[in-house]
Structure 1
Amino acid sequence: MINYTKIKHGNDLLNFLIEQSDYATIDDLKVQLNLSRRGVFYVLKRVNEALIADDLEPITNILGAGYYIQSETKKSLLEHFSNAQATIDQLSKYQRCQLIIWELVNHQALSLTHLAARFNVSKHTVISDLKQVRQTLAAHRLEIVQGTTGKFLSGSEITQRNWVLEALNDRSSILYSQIDINPSRLIAINTKIHKLEKITGNYFTDDALSTLDEFILWFLDRIKDPQNQLPDSPSRRTTVDSSSIDWSINFLAANDIQNYSEAYFLGRIINTSQFYRVNKTDGLIQRIFPIAREIIDRFNAASSASISPDKLELTLSTHLLSAFYRSKFMIPYHHPNLEQITEGYQELFSFTKYAIRPFEKFINGQLSDDEIALIALYFGGELRSIENEQTVQTDVLVVCSSGIGTSYILQQQLTQRFPNIAFSQPLSVLQFKNHDLDHIKLIISTIKLTVPLEIPVVTVSPLPNHRDWETIGKALVNAHLSDINFNEARINALLDIISNYARIEDFDGLTGALHGYLNQSKHPHQAETDETLSSLQRLLPTAHIKYSTDVLSWQQGVKIALSPLLHDGLIHTHYLEQVINLTKKNGPYMVLGDGIMLAHATQNDGVNDLGMSLLLCQHPMTIQIEGHTPAKKIQIIIGLAPVDATSHLAALSQLLQKIQDVAWVKAIKATHSVAEISHLLEVAQM
């Protein structure tokens, strides 16, 4: 018997495949492991991750035949893991910490000795893990207390459940190996949820549905113990989510649970899950639609982008519905890639944070950075879509379960790593099935696909690891889409030449720098260094700053503000006139607030090159357009000449961050010369 892993059903899977003289079909594995098809796929994925981490070939699937273990892997397992101690020490620190919290949530008394034996690590390592666990729990208002028989968890029942839900929102979480999956129960839960979808007209994404299935399985087992149930409160009533509450009451009653508070809790969880399609006639979504449109307008006004509200309104509203419930019911959302988005996509995050204010006013609260980061991905996808409309045909399709969420991060990373390859926007399975595949050379997918044509498919995680990137790189080379091999040869040649004349102190750093240089994108408007586009000081030189003591009309103000761009030949006179005409036609939509106007049109309205200017007026100007109320006063006009949808975003984002700083705007308005304005920009290190 092979004792290789602590992954639930993992050893059973390996032992069954090792004993087979032929391929095993998915149906064979379902029967042998007593799991659903999805459960089998999950175990296969987890076991293969462990095998790959040990430099062993993963379990292989031969299309039309079935699964088998390659001979070298089989030999290694039999030699090293036959009746051996399970390799629980392969768990990462993060996974160990999650399992510790999981056991605490499930009322297990823990000790250093127990945990050291559980994970096959030293007590010193356990102490370090517990320190990290305490920090994580503190963020959730939970804590570890010492009892007579060991360590226990202290904190509210709802908070503990919320931690489990948050952990399960990460589809790669180790907790999925801990939940007892009973296929018949899982099917019953899934059937009931689909019934709710038909009742409400709101349909969940694939990931949200899977998370709900697993969470409800755990939740039902937990509340079988009356001590874990919330105090019943039948007088509690709500109108916003009555359908979900009614469904939850009937669902729990069918599982012998008569507790309105628990039904209310389950209804909340249901509503905070992510939808991919909503009932357009629902009263709440009808109130959110105009807010979504206002958010898109604010994003366009702040970034000078031209995202179509008609195109994004429904998708954004669908997301905001879930965000509304998360805010209403205080269910926190934690984005697994928050730091990556806030640092790697600062411009998107900054504009989104500004644009989202109407929704925050609607919910009478502030969205967390995690929520804003997720919304930023929608805008990022639309901006990339605008760019793609102007580029050559797509070479590579990017496919995910629903076309949203972390798939945008995957697409952005692909574009950054391989800038000379045309990737599609993330496609849902439905979009993929209806997509023209005639000229597609490769498909990169986060889910298993059946492709009708002879097109290679690479299946990776939405958040690729090192091995995933290696697989993608090889697939691109095989599809004749990447010059990685050619550039690697050039890099090696350059390193040889450099080493003949200089001592290389940081070999890896130099290699990475050369790789980045040789694979960089060749954008027609891109200067030799990114600094030209990303530095506000370079895009807004002192010569482009104006200060006026005259009493001006807003039209005169726009002309003066844009005059440096006209003087330098960055725009035509037509562009200046178009800004005024757009304001007369659409009202003061370019006013960002606090007396600041972003004067801009599109790159097709007379732009020769990228540029920015700024005018500060001692006397405020009034924009009063007939048919548009109310009138708006402006004192600062920022002129912008964009060459595309994205090149100006970095500099404009830096300026927007300061515009939202009340003290900084007050300081700018208090200046009396171009020199003082320029100094404030320099002090801000823009």
Structure 2
Amino acid sequence: MDRRSLAVLNQLVQTDSYVTVQELAQTFNVSKRTIYNDLTKINDWLKESGHPGIRQVREQGLYLDENVKEKMVAQLPISNNPYYEYSPSERKAWVYIYIVAQEHFYYLAEFMELFQVSRNTILEDIKKLKEEVNDFRLQLVSEHRQGYKIKGDESDIRRVLTHYLTFVTPDNGWYEIIADSTSANTSEEKRLLRPYLIFNNDEMRLVKHLLIEYERKSHIEFTDEILNNLVIWFYLFFKRIKQVQYVKIDSVEKEVIKSTEAFEGANIFCSHLSREININIPDVEVYYIAKYLLSAKVNYDLNPQYEENKEMKLLFQVVEKMVSDFQLYAAVNFFEKERMIKNLFVHLKPAYYRVKYGIEIENALRESVEQNYPEVYRLTKKVIHHFENLINQPVTDNEITYIAMHFGGWLRREGIILSSVRKKLLIVCTSGLGTSRILESQLEGLLSEVDIVGAISLRDYEKQAFSVDFIVSTIPLSDRGIPVFVVKPILDNKDKEKLLRKINSLNNETHIDQLYSVDTVIDIVKRYAIVEEEEALKQELRRYLQSPIAIDIEKRKPSLGELLQPERIIMTEQVSDWMDAIQQAALPLLHQGYINEKYVNTMIANVLKLGPYIVIAEQFALPHAAPADGVKKSGMSMLHLEKPVDLQGEAVRVLVVLASWDNEQHLKALRQLTKLLKASRKEMMCAKDKEQIIKLIQTYSAN
């Protein structure tokens, strides 16, 4: 076996569950075909050594028999650091980082040694890197006896530096690199970590300490992810300063930055750092550091200062408009609206400065949010124009996704009641409050028999002791004797199934209802075979037999046609007043047990209190209330009037009553209804019979 095949075998020995070929390919950064070749080599070696080969279970993955694992542990050099090949994208990123961050010149031979690749391979990487940096108004040049250099504006050089850092960020973030970047003590570990040895552990710890001091004095807390990013960014920025490569900031921008508390914090930060590492930091760099402090995502801000200046006053008003419009478009009411507005302001304040100063933060969760929360993402795009008008430029998809995560977290957070449970779960999330709320609500829907005691940051976890049965974390945690399940911040169906299987096998107990009894299966097996290791077999059966418990149903949202069925459409000539219109429109839902009388009364009371906010298009109204106001099942009903009714100054001919048992079930149907109103509103208003309306509903339900 070669070195990579040995590493694949090590991985199979160390895993306690099934592993797929795709997962192995991702782990080792190679193709699936390469993994299949490695598996063939491993099986040949196992056969020659007198051991059973790798087993495979359809739709589950690969595994080794337990007795084979035990023999391999005694026979092979087991390592926790698997073989890894740097991809072309990673090599390009590291080449850029080394050129701009190192104080000595770098030559071709050094890059060949760094990545253990051929001359032609690294030349091809550099050729592609030259093309890429040109798009950023930079030049990669090679000068005689001076190695490679990056030429261009210093601000652009640093912006591209943060961009390429995203390609080499470890799977679990920068936390472990910052905490212990010099811990590699074997030649193999040093080889694997070689590119990361550019970072000086002592200096990074100093930068992190000063940032935490800044947090304490400013009464804020950065998200774990952003704190670690700032450490890496600032560390590399100071390497540029050591090379006397300074940024430029115009005088108007300086005046704006100087008026903020972040500037004072940056001044103290730079002064301390200058003394500790003996570096001259000019004033212009203090302003530059202040930009990043202003732009950094936070978990909380104890003193958000909505009235601190004109810009922030306008931003607060924008947040109020965004939340109000989101409620209107989503047909929901946030019970803690004021609290949500303040929380969203705390998030949008750094986002405002990020957009203003051109600081881009890559959102690794963007695709996941768009796929798993498409309706929330679309609604966020509908209200983002308020923010764009304030900053006078479009907002990137990365930023829109972060805002969507806040809205999604609040949608799922409100109205959730925890039941009495047997087990306690703690969530540790490094991506901020928006993400942790989404993860928490996903787990609440998935683990009905588990009590989630809270979602905390990594730093809070490290500071405190917790009495819980298990932990779900977005990164690996230090061992405290409590089972830790590492998951992605946003779960898809496959992630949910994997997590259920792992939790189900916890402590040899089954906490989630499943279709099959493990004990019954064991009894059947015993009739026809001798079971030598009964407990191990039970454990394996628990992993395999665990039912996915309607994960698809939990994710799926009904269409307009499913919620607004033909029998719930009423056509009549006229009504006495708007209250009568709401009551008649709600009758089908009331008679079929979807809502109760309280819900009808609350819809009317809301209009009396808030005005005609339910009129969302010309002659069209969408009466609704909160799930807790009397919804038993999600549904819609329609009243179509030949003669319009006056609804507090608004003429209305069609009313659709919306009842949703949570804040999300109706979002797909609402999107389809909105499309219908935009394209075919007049046709619906002028319909003479129910069949015309049903046909329209069916047409737009297919989208």
- SS state of the match for residue 222, structure 1? helix
1:277 is aligned to 300
Native 8 Å contact 2:306 2:316 kept in 1: no
CA offsets per residue over residues 321-371 of structure 1, 9 Å max, x none? Answer: 112212222323331021111111113223333455544444444433322
Q: How do 1:335-346 and structure 2 match up within 5 A?
A: 335-346=363-374
Q: CA deviation at 1:221?
A: 1.0
Find the aligned partners of 2:505 and 2:546 in 1 and give their Cα distance: 19
TM-score for both structures, normalised by structure 1: 0.67
Instruction: State the one-letter code of the partner of 2:161.
Output: V
Cα distance change on mapping 1:584 and 1:484 into 2, 3 Å: closer
Query: Is 1:586 the counterpart of 2:610 in the alignment?
Result: yes
Q: Choose which of 230, 239, 251 in structure 1 pairs with 2:247.
A: 230
- SS state of the match for residue 364, structure 2? coil
Find the aligned partners of 2:266 and 2:465 in 1 and give their Cα distance: 42
- SS state of the match for residue 276, structure 1? strand
- SS state of the match for residue 606, structure 2? helix
- SS state of the match for residue 537, structure 1? helix
Q: CA deviation at 1:582?
A: 1.7
1:95 is aligned to 90
1:396 is aligned to 425
- SS state of the match for residue 237, structure 1? helix
- SS state of the match for residue 639, structure 1? strand
Native 8 Å contact 2:224 2:432 kept in 1: no
Find the aligned partners of 2:196 and 2:682 in 1 and give their Cα distance: 56
2:483 is aligned to 456
2:355 is aligned to 327
1:352 is aligned to 380
Moved more, 330-339 or 613-622: 613-622
Cα distance change on mapping 1:682 and 1:191 into 2, 3 Å: same
CA offsets per residue over residues 12-33 of structure 1, 9 Å max, x none? Answer: xxxxxxxxxxxxxxxxxxxxxx
Query: Is 1:239 the counterpart of 2:256 in the alignment?
Result: yes
Q: CA deviation at 1:270?
A: 1.3
- SS state of the match for residue 637, structure 2? strand
Query: Is 1:519 the counterpart of 2:548 in the alignment?
Result: yes
Q: CA deviation at 1:537?
A: 1.6
- SS state of the match for residue 518, structure 1? coil
1:642 is aligned to 660
Q: Unpaired segments of 5 or more residues in structure 2?
A: 5-26, 30-34, 43-69, 178-194, 526-542
Task: Kindly report the root-mean-square deviation, in angstroms, between the aligned alpha carbons of the 2 structures.
Answer: 5.3
Query: Is 1:217 the counterpart of 2:235 in the alignment?
Result: yes
Aligned pairs, number: 584
Native 8 Å contact 1:252 1:258 kept in 2: no
Cα distance change on mapping 1:413 and 1:118 into 2, 3 Å: farther
Instruction: State the one-letter code of the partner of 2:399.
Output: E
Q: How do 1:96-111 and structure 2 match up within 5 A?
A: 96-103=91-98
1:562 is aligned to 586
Q: Choose which of 280, 287, 302 in structure 2 pairs with 1:256.
A: 280
Moved more, 274-283 or 251-260: 251-260
Instruction: State the one-letter code of the partner of 1:165.
Output: T
Q: CA deviation at 1:216?
A: 0.8
Find the aligned partners of 1:399 and 1:618 in 2 and give their Cα distance: 57
CA offsets per residue over residues 75-94 of structure 1, 9 Å max, x none? Answer: 8559x99xxxx998523455
Instruction: State the one-letter code of the partner of 2:282.
Output: Q
Calculate percent identity across the aligned residue pairs: 23
1:20 is aligned to none
2:188 is aligned to none
Query: Is 1:308 the counterpart of 2:336 in the alignment?
Result: yes
Q: How do 1:99-498 and structure 2 match up within 5 A?
A: 99-103=94-98, 119-120=115-116, 141=136, 156-166=153-163, 168=165, 172=171, 178=196, 180-197=198-215, 200-226=218-244, 228-231=245-248, 233-234=250-251, 236-239=253-256, 242-248=260-266, 252=270, 254=274, 255-260=279-284, 262-278=285-301, 279-281=303-305, 283-284=307-308, 288-289=315-316, 291-301=318-328, 302-304=330-332, 306-386=334-414, 388-393=416-421, 395-401=424-430, 404-408=433-437, 410-411=439-440, 414=443, 423=452, 426-428=455-457, 440-446=468-474, 455-458=482-485, 462=489, 473-479=501-507, 480-482=509-511
TM-score for both structures, normalised by structure 2: 0.66
Native 8 Å contact 1:171 1:207 kept in 2: no
Q: CA deviation at 1:186?
A: 3.2
CA offsets per residue over residues 221-264 of structure 1, 9 Å max, x none? Answer: 113334x323464564333653323444565564423253x333
Q: CA deviation at 1:584?
A: 0.3
Native 8 Å contact 2:515 2:546 kept in 1: no
Cα distance change on mapping 1:616 and 1:270 into 2, 3 Å: farther
Moved more, 333-342 or 356-365: 356-365
Find the aligned partners of 1:141 and 1:276 in 2 and give their Cα distance: 32
Native 8 Å contact 1:477 1:483 kept in 2: no
Q: Unpaired segments of 5 or more residues in structure 1?
A: 6-48, 57-69, 497-513, 625-630
CA offsets per residue over residues 546-573 of structure 1, 9 Å max, x none? Answer: 5677698543543454344345453345
Find the aligned partners of 2:463 and 2:621 in 1 and give their Cα distance: 43
CA offsets per residue over residues 486-507 of structure 1, 9 Å max, x none? Answer: 75979999xx9xxxxxxxxxxx
2:538 is aligned to none
Native 8 Å contact 2:408 2:438 kept in 1: no
Find the aligned partners of 1:569 and 1:464 in 2 and give their Cα distance: 33
Native 8 Å contact 2:574 2:645 kept in 1: no
Find the aligned partners of 1:605 and 1:251 in 2 and give their Cα distance: 52
- SS state of the match for residue 622, structure 2? strand
Find the aligned partners of 1:668 and 1:137 in 2 and give their Cα distance: 54
Cα distance change on mapping 1:391 and 1:319 into 2, 3 Å: same
Cα distance change on mapping 1:203 and 1:411 into 2, 3 Å: closer
1:61 is aligned to none
Find the aligned partners of 1:406 and 1:132 in 2 and give their Cα distance: 35
Find the aligned partners of 2:572 and 2:148 in 1 and give their Cα distance: 69
Find the aligned partners of 1:647 and 1:516 in 2 and give their Cα distance: 30
Native 8 Å contact 1:233 1:259 kept in 2: no
Find the aligned partners of 1:105 and 1:206 in 2 and give their Cα distance: 26
Q: CA deviation at 1:637?
A: 3.3
Find the aligned partners of 1:379 and 1:235 in 2 and give their Cα distance: 35
CA offsets per residue over residues 488-529 of structure 1, 9 Å max, x none? Answer: 979999xx9xxxxxxxxxxxxxxxxx9899322499xx7xx9
Query: Is 1:683 the counterpart of 2:678 in the alignment?
Result: no
CA offsets per residue over residues 422-477 of structure 1, 9 Å max, x none? Answer: 55552346887999977x4322234676899x743445665799999968844541
Q: CA deviation at 1:309?
A: 1.9
Find the aligned partners of 2:282 and 2:625 in 1 and give their Cα distance: 61
Native 8 Å contact 1:206 1:401 kept in 2: yes
Native 8 Å contact 1:275 1:318 kept in 2: yes
Find the aligned partners of 2:597 and 2:487 in 1 and give their Cα distance: 51
Q: CA deviation at 1:218?
A: 0.5
Find the aligned partners of 1:671 and 1:579 in 2 and give their Cα distance: 26
Find the aligned partners of 2:658 and 2:496 in 1 and give their Cα distance: 41
- SS state of the match for residue 395, structure 2? coil
Cα distance change on mapping 1:522 and 1:106 into 2, 3 Å: closer
Instruction: State the one-letter code of the partner of 2:298.
Output: F
Q: Choose which of 556, 559, 575 in structure 1 pairs with 2:599.
A: 575
Q: CA deviation at 1:174?
A: 8.6
Native 8 Å contact 1:352 1:375 kept in 2: yes
Instruction: State the one-letter code of the partner of 2:699.
Output: V
Instruction: State the one-letter code of the partner of 1:610.
Output: S
- SS state of the match for residue 203, structure 1? strand
1:67 is aligned to none
Cα distance change on mapping 1:602 and 1:217 into 2, 3 Å: closer
